[in-house]
Structure 1
Amino acid sequence: MPPRLLGAVGWSLGAVLAALGAAAFLLLVLTAAKDAALPARNKYGLVFDAGSTHTALYIYRWPADKENGTGIVSQVEACTVSGPGISSYADNPAGAGASLKPCLDKAMKVVPAEQQRETPTYLGATAGMRLLREQNSSKAEQVFAEVAKAIGEYPVEFRGARVLTGNEEGSFGWITVNYLLETLVKVSITGKWTHPPTEDVVGALDLGGASTQITFLPGTTIDDSSTRALLRLYGTNYSIYTHSYLCYGQNQALKRLMASLHQVTTSSLISHPCYPRGYQENITMAELYNSPCVPAPSPPSPAQVLTVVGTGDPVLCSISIQKLFNLSCGANRTCGFNGVYQPPVRGQFFAFSGLYHNLHFLNLTGGQSLSLVNATIWQFCTWEWEKVQNEFPTTNRTQLRDACAASSYALTLLLRGYKFSERTWLRVRFVPQVANVDVGWTLGYMLNLTNMIPSEAPQRVIGLQRSNWIAATVLLAIMLILIFCLLTVTCCQKSSSGYESL
């Protein structure tokens, strides 16, 4: 080949390769910039908390590319369903389904239309439906059928409605709190995954309308397998203590308190030491004994009218509430109450739901000492009904009536039932939310069912994004084709030059 032709071909080949290299570099930079500029696609999840007194819908959101991350699920919206809990619709099952629709309509405005059909949606029912299932299982199934029918009318990926066991409710609440606190696994700024020490894991205390749960990581072996839950989260095994006390939720406990006060009198007048002095109301026997938690006296007289009069006596109120608990543990055994095994409480606890709301009403959720909490509740329980109404003019009548009883019950449950003491009291934090997410079992339930908390720690992946790899692969293929073509042309020209020289 003549030197001039050879130089031209070499120059052309070098120019093409340089241009392709520059193009590859620019395309990768632009692709990365484009990907960085685009917002990460979010995924959504819906969970109905069908409690004994009311139902709420929680709408969660998380980045799709961080499904196994931690601390990245956010609560977009919470919608309270109008009316009572779904168990109250035992004689009107269709009403249970209809009650959910306004909140579902709201959710459809939050979740983008193109993502609704892939949005996992769950309904979990707790103690209210547990009680209904015990009373009448066919009515409970009818309620669930109508609920499923109503949710099925919406373009979501409905994954079923069911009753949670008490231990599930406690475990999922524990997972929720620790997930949000990042005490199960933590990711650093550099992207490295680390396991915080187990001492950072916190316990969970929940008080609903019909049941109450205590869940924590004890410092000893759990002797009773019925109170043990084995979890493997992010590659770490947890053997947690959890127990749910049915009929010891606030509403059922206060109903049982009223029944116990009625059963010690021979008249239709009930003196209620936890109600403010000057308060009075009439109730029927049917209203008082309408729950399986409150066995009716024999013979029942459902139409009989009872007159309830508040006496505002904090001493007698506390004594009456304590009688709801069997505090005998038996030989060689530690327990909470009613003979249920419980190891000594250990570590920090987060108390939520009714435990938070009862004490927050009296401004007692700011880390006050136990003596101050006791004194404040004691003083409030001596107030007359007129003073209570004047001090809280915007609070509804039922909440005002029950405020002394509810706060006294919460305190008795924690101290006498769960065995917290003056020493461990300050380890209990009363919260409604963690990281702007409502605390309860719903988030833990969704995380579990969507496998968003893996049993093994996620592996870090370092490298180019998928779009960058595609661009690099295409450019490499083009470069190889062009190089092949240039080499072919060069060889042909060399052969041609050889024939011409002959």
Structure 2
Amino acid sequence: MTSLHHPSYSDDEVDLQTKIMNCNVWFFIAVVCFVVGMVGLVVIIILHHKDQEPLYSYGVVLDAGSSHTKLFVYKWNTKCHQQTALANQIHSCKVTGGGISSYENNPSALRPPLEVCLREAEGVVPDDKQSKTPVFLGATAGMRLIHAVNSSVSDAIMDVVRDTIQSSKFQFTNPKTQARILTGSEEGLFSWITANYILGKFGVIPPTEVSQSRHKRDLSGAGEGTVGALDMGGASTQITFYPGSSVKMPDNFTGNAVLYEKNYTVYTQSYLCYGINEIKRRYQALLVKSQNFTLDIVNPCGPQGKTITEHYSDVFEAPCTRDSSEKPVSKNTNFTFRGSGNITECAVVTHQLFDFNQSCPYKTCSFNGTYQPPVYGQFYAFSNFYYELSFLNQTDSNSLAEFQTALSDVCHMTWKQLREKYPTTLVDFLPWYCFSGTYIQILLTEAYKFDNSTWQNLHFVDELKSTEIGWSLGFMIDSSSDLPTTKREYYMTNLAFALMMTLFILFILISVGFACHAVKFHRQKQRGLIYQPAPKTDNYGAIQ
């Protein structure tokens, strides 16, 4: 009987071939190559995507104003546009209590309320970014006043501030630079930067939570097309604007900033003791002096039927009203201010808070002998400017006459009429709207020289594009160019990514080739084209 064994194969070899052919090893090789290729592609794509994700930086700024302190957290893509950040406000926290200047008798009490907002900010900034996130504090007019009167007191307050910030997780390597008292010019300049940045006047459009677009437009010149900024806090007021290319300004009235590769030079001036709280105090002191320190004072700007009692210290022991002359009354005295609702006399007294007769060495001036070029372009007025105009329902009006009419109506109301018409307005603020409006009117028209035509260029706002207006955002933008550049730690270079992609795609192509070969092998086997070993026989030729 003829053997069916192939002459070149032993029985063991035939068994091995049979097992291999039955499981079709080509399918197995194809699957392995495909899995290696796909897993490799997924891994390198994920790593490359991480390399391409925006790398963000963060900054924290505390606005330490005369009446309160507020913390802001800003975020921007580390790939700064022309070395200046496109920052976006992502969080804010109001520190409880008054401004830091109100802690002059107990500076250590500042620590707990500051720590609350610092801890809150740490919860907003990612953990891995905190040590590289700079934190700044700028103290404004309230601290400027204290520093001018008693620098040791202001130093004690700032020491507590710096020590508290130092205990946070944020980067605070230069305490005396990062937490300091701002000059009035800086405050005005940074507010100007904020307003123009939000409005897109620097040739860039700031990011929002909705859009991260980066559009550009050309300006005719560095300054043309920008808007002026009018700010009024509790202790000072600022005016900042670009006066036009033909105006040559004295150096001590200018502010300079390099933003998005352009240099901006603007007029800026801050008036200390002309913020809304201090001007009220100065008005009361003026009334007391002009009425020979009698204890019962006629208040022409106050509504008829309303009395306000103030202690001597509240009127005369603040930096803006303190002077060397002795007052002919006891320091334990209380003054009673009785409203008379006399708008004419109110304007006369308020006018005396300005010195329009002081000599000025310049061609154009505002008041107190201070240089100011003619107002130029559009202006945005915020803070206490906005609060007054909002109360008078004049924020959407561009008419000086309408503003004056609305103010006159309020000034002629009795206290009873005011309470009936404005039942939800805080009673502490309500008696002061006539005086505040009269003061703002004189400041804008006689000091800054806005008239019937240029009043139309005034816009009274609290926010612009859902962003609070103030100096802190402008400060962060201006400071960003001085911050060290954050460098990304790349997982792989673009060349390595391309080579790895090619390698793993090749694995997938090879797996396809093996799969095709496996299918072909399977079909040949089914048609009997592949060698099939004979059944095993015993030594006598019988089939087992």
The code of the aligned residue for 1:376 comes to: A
SS at match of 2:163: helix
Change (3 A) 1:386 1:49: same
* Contact 1:45/1:121 (<8 A) preserved: yes
TM-aligned CA deviation for residue 28 of structure 1: 11
1:86 to 83, 89, 100: 100
SS at match of 2:120: helix
Q: Is 2:291 the partner of 1:273?
A: no
Q: Pairwise mapping of residues 43-442 of structure 1 onto structure 2 (< 5 A)? A: 43-66=57-80, 68=82, 72-158=86-172, 159=174, 160-186=178-204, 193-197=216-220, 198-219=223-244, 220-266=246-292, 267-296=294-323, 297-299=325-327, 301-328=330-357, 330=360, 333-442=363-472
* Equivalent-residue separation in structure 1 for 2:361 and 2:314 (angstroms): 40
SS at match of 1:263: helix
Gaps in structure 2 of 5+ consecutive residues: 1-32, 207-211, 485-490, 506-544
1:472 to 490, 494, 498: 498
* Contact 2:301/2:342 (<8 A) preserved: yes
| 1:4 aligned partner | none
The code of the aligned residue for 1:167 comes to: S
1:10-42 Cα deviation digits (max 9, x unpaired): xxxxxxxxx9xxx89x95998399739986443
TM-aligned CA deviation for residue 346 of structure 1: 0.3
* Contact 2:257/2:478 (<8 A) preserved: no
* Contact 1:230/1:240 (<8 A) preserved: yes
* Contact 2:362/2:371 (<8 A) preserved: no
* Contact 2:84/2:478 (<8 A) preserved: no
SS at match of 2:238: strand
SS at match of 1:133: helix
| 1:446 aligned partner | 476
Gaps in structure 1 of 5+ consecutive residues: 1-18, 455-464, 480-502
* Equivalent-residue separation in structure 1 for 2:392 and 2:466 (angstroms): 23
SS at match of 1:397: coil
SS at match of 1:401: helix
SS at match of 1:57: strand
TM-aligned CA deviation for residue 324 of structure 1: 0.7
* Contact 1:222/1:241 (<8 A) preserved: no
TM-aligned CA deviation for residue 71 of structure 1: 8.7
The alignment covers a number of residue pairs equal to 450
SS at match of 1:157: coil
Change (3 A) 1:234 1:61: closer
Change (3 A) 1:397 1:71: farther
SS at match of 1:83: coil
Change (3 A) 1:46 1:71: closer
1:327-374 Cα deviation digits (max 9, x unpaired): 235476200111101010000111111111121122111133110011
* Contact 1:27/1:471 (<8 A) preserved: no
1:391-431 Cα deviation digits (max 9, x unpaired): 22232222112122112212221111111111100101111
SS at match of 2:428: helix
* Equivalent-residue separation in structure 1 for 2:71 and 2:415 (angstroms): 35
* Equivalent-residue separation in structure 2 for 1:52 and 1:412 (angstroms): 23
* Equivalent-residue separation in structure 2 for 1:190 and 1:279 (angstroms): 54
The code of the aligned residue for 1:172 comes to: F
Sequence identity (%): 36
* Contact 2:86/2:477 (<8 A) preserved: no
Change (3 A) 1:130 1:105: same
1:113-163 Cα deviation digits (max 9, x unpaired): 232222211100011101111111111111011111112222111352100
Q: TM-score, with normalisation over the residues of structure 2?
A: 0.76
TM-aligned CA deviation for residue 54 of structure 1: 1.0
Change (3 A) 1:448 1:199: closer
Larger Rg computed on CA atoms: 2
TM-aligned CA deviation for residue 233 of structure 1: 2.3
The code of the aligned residue for 1:120 comes to: P
SS at match of 2:370: coil
CA RMSD of aligned residues (A): 3.2
* Equivalent-residue separation in structure 1 for 2:410 and 2:501 (angstroms): 77
Change (3 A) 1:190 1:170: closer
* Equivalent-residue separation in structure 2 for 1:182 and 1:29 (angstroms): 40
* Equivalent-residue separation in structure 2 for 1:309 and 1:190 (angstroms): 57
Change (3 A) 1:365 1:321: same
1:294-337 Cα deviation digits (max 9, x unpaired): 13552352111211101112221122111111123547620011
SS at match of 1:43: strand
The code of the aligned residue for 2:135 comes to: T
